[in-house]
Homo-oligomer: A and B are copies of this chain.
């Protein structure tokens, strides 16, 4: 059963990284998450949105799309860009792999998403964009009024 959902979009400006975290955290708060669960979600969202901005769109400006769905005690988050896409998904998902060492990127973004969320799915097409789907299951669910 789909309990609630939302869609958000904003331009790929780095000040929107914190905005996206607040929005998803606020939406997730319906699931009465623990502080730790909420922090996990915020961190994963921050990784995916940052990637859309700095890797997907690089120096150009585009739109970042965030969608959330609550289905029972699960939160599904989709983060999309219409940016340059990823050639080899297996390679970029390796820990420490980064194409932007000059920005002091650690190459740990995907590893963090994988570790902090229960599911991670990456789809991408070169020249078209990237689609990240993540799911978090909330353990102590008791829908807040």
Give the B-binding residues of A (Cβ under 8 A).
4-11, 13, 15-16, 19, 22-23, 26-27, 30, 145
CA distance A16 to B8 in the complex (A): 14
A-B contact sample (19 more), CB < 8 A, given A6-B19, A19-B27, A19-B30: A4-B13, A4-B15, A5-B10, A5-B11, A6-B8, A6-B9, A7-B8, A7-B9, A7-B10, A8-B8, A15-B30, A15-B145, A19-B26, A22-B22, A22-B23, A22-B26, A23-B23, A23-B26, A26-B26
Can you give 17 contacting A-B residue pairs, CB < 8 Å? A4-B11, A4-B13, A5-B10, A5-B11, A6-B8, A6-B9, A6-B10, A7-B7, A7-B8, A8-B23, A15-B30, A15-B145, A19-B30, A22-B22, A22-B23, A23-B23, A23-B26
The smallest beta-carbon distance between A117 and chain B, in angstroms, is 21
Q: In this complex, which of A6, A15, A26 has the most chain B Cβ atoms within 10 angstroms of its Cβ?
A: A6
The smallest beta-carbon distance between A125 and chain B, in angstroms, is 24
- Residues in B whose Cβ lies below 8 Å from that of A23: 8, 22-23, 26
The smallest beta-carbon distance between A16 and chain B, in angstroms, is 7
